[in-house]
Structures are given as C-alpha cells and as structure tokens.
Amino acid sequence: MDRKLHISVIGAKTSCSLVLFQQEESDEPSLKIPMEPAQKEGDVWNLTVEGRWPRKTMYCLEMDGVLRPDPCGRQFTGWEQWGDPENINHLMKSPLYGEAFDWEGDRTLETPLHESVIYRCHVRGMTCHRSSGVRNKGTFRALMEKIPYIKELGATAVELMPVNEFQEILVQESEWNPKAARRPEPTGRLNYWGYTGGYYYAPKASYSSGQKKHPVYELKKLVKELHRQGLELIIELYFSGKESPALVLDIIRFWVKEYHIDGIHLVGYAPVELIGKDPYLKRTKLFATSWDGVGGSKDKHLADYNDGFLTDMRRVLKGDEDQIHPLIFRTGNNPKGYGVINYMAHTNGFTMMDMVSYERKHNEANGEDNRDGSDYNYSWNCGLEGMSKKKKLVEIRLQQIRNAMALLFLSQGTPLLLAGDEAGNSKSGNNNAYCQDNEISWINWNQLRTNKDIYEFTKYMIAFRKAHPVFHMEEEALNMDYLACGHPDISFHGEKAWRPEYENFRRQLGVLYCGEYGKKQDGSPDDYFYVMYNMHWEPHEFGPPHLPKNRRWHLAVDTSRSEINGHYEPGREPLLDEQKKYVVNGRSVVVLIGKVFQTEGENCSRKKRKDKSRYEKI
C-alpha cells in the first residue's frame, strides 16, 4: 500500500530536500527528493510524496547543502547511547514509518489540583543507582518498575524533567545549536537536566531500553501504566524564547494528544497568555512561573509554579524574624481560578536533607570554582556544616525535616515532593548539580532503610492530608463563619486562643480549621484541627480553642517527639486533658484533631472498640 508523506521545514534559506536511506546503519542516501521553491509558504518549505518504501527506511533533510535531522522528527537514531561523546558527530535520522500503539481506551485522568500530590523526578536519577533494584536502569522501562512505590507513597502525579530529545554532551559554545554545520568540541561534562534547545517532537532515545531503541513505544507504555495505576504524568518542556509562539503551542498540543500527557510544566520562556487561553488545553494542567494577565478559569487547570513557597517557608523553618504573615499567607494560599504548586526543595537548590545540613553551597565538583548556583538557600545547618553522625545533631535535623514535611502537606496549595527527599537524599551540598550524572544526583535507595523514619513520616503526612479535606480545599478559606456553625472556616491564634500575635519577634502561630467546611467523600463533615507552629528555639505554651461539646482534642502530630516519629497512627491519637495547655517544644509543629468523643466506659460497653489507647490522657 502506498503511503502519503508530508514534510514542512523551517530554517532552509536557498534549498531543501528530503533524503531517504534504505537502512538505519546506512550513510549512503538511496533517494533525494528536492522541495520546490514554488511550494514554499512564507519561509516554510513543503513537500508531499506518495510511494511504497521498506519499513526500515530512514530519512533526514538536506538544508542549504548540509544533511540535518528533521527539526520536527518524531523519533531519532544516532543518540541512543547516553553520554557518548561521539553523539555530536552522528547524523541523526528518523524512521519514515511511525510505530503503532494500542492505547486500549486510555485517557488523561484530570485529577483536580486540590486533590493532587506531585512527585518530581529525573528519568535517569530515579533508577541509575546500583541500589534501585531494577533492570534497564535509567530508562522509561525502569521508571515503570517504580510505579508501585510512588503509588504507595501517596502521590497522584509524576513530574518528569525533560524527556524530549536533547543533546546531553556539553560543548564549547555557550549553547548547543543543532543547525550548525560544524560540530563543536565536547567539554567533558554532561547536560544532565536537559534544559537546552532540542527536538521537541521526539522522546529521548537514550531513555529507552534494549539494543534496539523504541522510545516512542516505551514512553507511551509508561503513560498508560501510570494511568492504569491512577497516576498522572506531567512533563517539563524547556523553551529558550527563540521559538515562535505558534510552534510552542503546537508542541504542547502534540504531547497532550500524541502521548496522553496530563500536564505540562513550562520552563524558560513561553507565550503563557497564548497557551493559557488555548481551548484545546482547557483540560490539561499547565504550570508556569506566573499566569499574570491570563486570568483564572472554572476548571482551575493553570497553576503558578515558582520558589515563593520555598523561600518563605524555609525562612519560617529556620526561625527568621517577622515570618508570621508569610506563614499565614503560604499555608492558606489557594486563589480562585488558578492553583499554586508548593515545594520545600527542588532540582535547582538544596534537597531537604541538605537544607538542614549546609548553609553554603558546595559545587566544586561542577568545575566552576563554586561560582555557579545560587548563594541564597535560606538553610540552617543545625550547628555544623555537612553530614554528621552526632546523635543530637541527627535528631534536630530529622525534627526539622518533619517540620518541613508538615509545612508542605498542611498548606492549601498543591504539594510537590522532590524524589529522594522522603528518604533523606543528599547531594553533598551541591545546589546546582546540572552536570552531575552520578551518585550526587541519583537516588540511593538504601536510604529507605537508613532513613526509614523520614519515609514513614512523609507517607503519613500525605495520607493525613488526603484524608482531611480542610487541608486541601477547592478554594481559599474566607476566615468567616459563612455556614453559621459557630466557627469560621479558618482562624488564627497566638499562645492564647483567639488572640493572634503578629509582632515581628513572634515565631508562634495557632491555626484552627473547622471541619464543617470540609466534606469527605461520603458527604460527612471533616474533623476540627488545631495546628500549632512554634519556630522559636524555646518551648511555648498554647491554649487550644474550645470545641463543640461533643468533641475533644486528641494529639495527632508532634514533630518534636522522636519516640513516636512525630505522629500517631489514625484512630490511636491519645486524648488531651481538657484542663491543661499544651507545651509546644522549640522548633516543632503540633497538630490536634477534634474528634467526636465518647467516654471510655460508653465506648467499651458498646464494644465498638477494644483499643483503649485512644483515651490515654496527655
């Protein structure tokens, strides 16, 4: 059967031809079909051919007398081996025939932003370490083996750093130019992150497994399996700003349609107004630094994605002065019409473990005399620079990480967790590991055992958030009793109930959440919660607000209590003595849950519960 093929090319000045090769390995063209200048539309060369070719036929383009890859190619050969310096000398070719894929009815999941928990990772970094326990390390197929782990942790979406085809070999020029006729010399370093110009319509060949690379098939299979397990996939697309707005929009639409991608994180320079208002993307999650000027939408598919939460909350965490107002703002920030993505650590910067272990960047391994990377990390090393096994130092660092997880998952925006933070991953103080394709960037899975407490607390906080809708409302709380139930949806307190303290030297805040404003899946109201933040290094005594008569305060979380790893399991929260105030230890977060109360005698007589630990008094 004859096949019709249409090629459109931008960038050729005087001539352009389609060049066919009989085999992938062949460097000798079997046929060259010139494009006629009369068929140009503006600066776009066009060619439509119809014929019958062998299935292994490959093609590239000849532009102004030089053989080049198709900028819009759907798949490439030539860069299959990650980190091979010879890649820059290979002529990249594309298969003439695309690969068939059966989606079996798959579709995007459209999980609402307020119900989402994002797990951010790098395809290689997730599985390259020898401890990963998977085959085909550093590939889409290996990442698929980690889906059960991500799901068990509690995430609802995976965000991947760039997965489109890019050149990871860093060259002498300041930036890789795929149109250059002369191939520049490699520097010996790698572009591990992928923030560079590339080929936007093709998945990265070196992220696929086996001798015969099938990146299109493996990425689609990964997406389908994620969806089958109830997880969304969000990918990063980096744009330099040199791409036309129309091209950027076409690229985004392509990934959503062709790969069933649930969300796009726009990095670099992109026409956000055009993208945000595109009707084809109204059901796709779109993340950008800011959506100012675009306006919100009823479906709330746009989200601000920047370091605002990280900067403010790290200053709160380390006990800086005058941080009560930022704490109030960040915990409740949940604008109408668009979302916010919150994170305490990100690829560009310290991990959570490094955030509590280093005060200065240590990027010497990058070969730039430690000049690269930000000097502003808003971190506190807890008294000693670098990793240590000193018991007291380890304890305060673990407590600070529990605090950081509480700050993240008790805030209203969509939480994002950097892969490895749940296991105490460290980059040895490197806050700009863009060229580190090694154990600095890879996740060491052995840390799940050595830092099991961090993992268990993180998993608990994610489940706690998901179980209680007052911590992930659809819209921002109003600080009003609009249901006339006797309590506002949210209210702020000081050490004494209903007396907030906003002086610049204060480091204590109480936040009351009324459960009547949060409806669970079965329609029943949520519990009441009182969150007490004490970021001072001294203990402070809080007086919890009074609850409705049928409810009593129980202790759910106290990050200072290492003997319980900072939390009690659901249903086992001990009862607080009504007559006592609660002493919140220095640098800690406490969460009280106001549950419907029955006396121990009544409950036991009805045989509703054998476990009496619920009624232990504190």
Question: pLDDT tens for residues 280-290?
Answer: 999 999 999 99
pLDDT of residue 601: 45
pLDDT of residue 598: 67
Which of 217, 269, 279 has the alpha carbon at shortest distance from 247? Answer: 269
Could you tell me the pLDDT band of residue 53, with boundaries at 50, 70 and 90?
confident
pLDDT of residue 296: 78
Say which range, 25-29, 241-245, 388-392, 408-412, has the weakest mean pLDDT.
25-29
Tens digit of pLDDT for each residue in 349-362? 999 999 999 999 99
pLDDT of residue 97: 84
Say which range, 65-74, 371-380, 579-588, 601-610, has the weakest mean pLDDT.
601-610
Share of the chain above pLDDT 70, in %: 94
**Residue 427 near residue 433, CB atoms below 8 Å:** yes
pLDDT of residue 241: 94
pLDDT of residue 22: 86
Could you tell me the pLDDT band of residue 249, with boundaries at 50, 70 and 90?
very high
Tokens for 488, please give them: 């506002």
Checking if the pLDDT of 394 tops 80, the result is yes
- What is the residue whose two structure tokens read 């998901």? 466
> How far are the Cα atoms of 157, 441, 465, 490, 526 from residue 412, in angstroms, in the given order?
17, 30, 10, 12, 15
Checking if the pLDDT of 377 tops 60, the result is yes
Checking if the pLDDT of 24 tops 80, the result is no
pLDDT of residue 364: 97
Can you say whether the dihedral through the CA atoms of 472, 476, 478, 484 is positive or negative? Answer: negative
Checking if the pLDDT of 507 tops 80, the result is yes
Tokens for 261, please give them: 């991608």
Checking if the pLDDT of 606 tops 50, the result is no
Mean pLDDT for the stretch of residues 550-571: 97
DSSP sequence for 520-565: -TTSPBPPEEEEEEE-SSS-EEE-PPPPPTTEEEEEEEETT-GGGT
Checking if the pLDDT of 612 tops 80, the result is no
pTM above 0.85, yes or no: yes
Tens digit of pLDDT for each residue in 76-88? 999 999 999 988 8
Task: For the chain, list the domains and their CATH numbers.
Answer: 3-95 (2.60.40.10), 113-305 (3.20.20.80), 479-615 (2.60.40.1180)
Mean pLDDT for the stretch of residues 154-174: 91
Can you say whether the dihedral through the CA atoms of 346, 350, 355, 359 is positive or negative? Answer: negative
Mean pLDDT for the stretch of residues 142-146: 98
Checking if the pLDDT of 607 tops 80, the result is no
Checking if the pLDDT of 171 tops 90, the result is no
pLDDT of residue 536: 98
Buried b (16+ CB within 10 A) or exposed e, 58-90: bbbbbbeeebbbbbbbbbbbbbbebeeeebbeb
Tens digit of pLDDT for each residue in 448-494? 999 999 999 999 999 999 999 999 999 999 999 999 999 999 999 99
> How far are the Cα atoms of 111, 270, 302, 303, 337 from residue 295, in angstroms, in the given order?
21, 16, 9, 11, 7
Per-chain mean pLDDT for the chain: 92
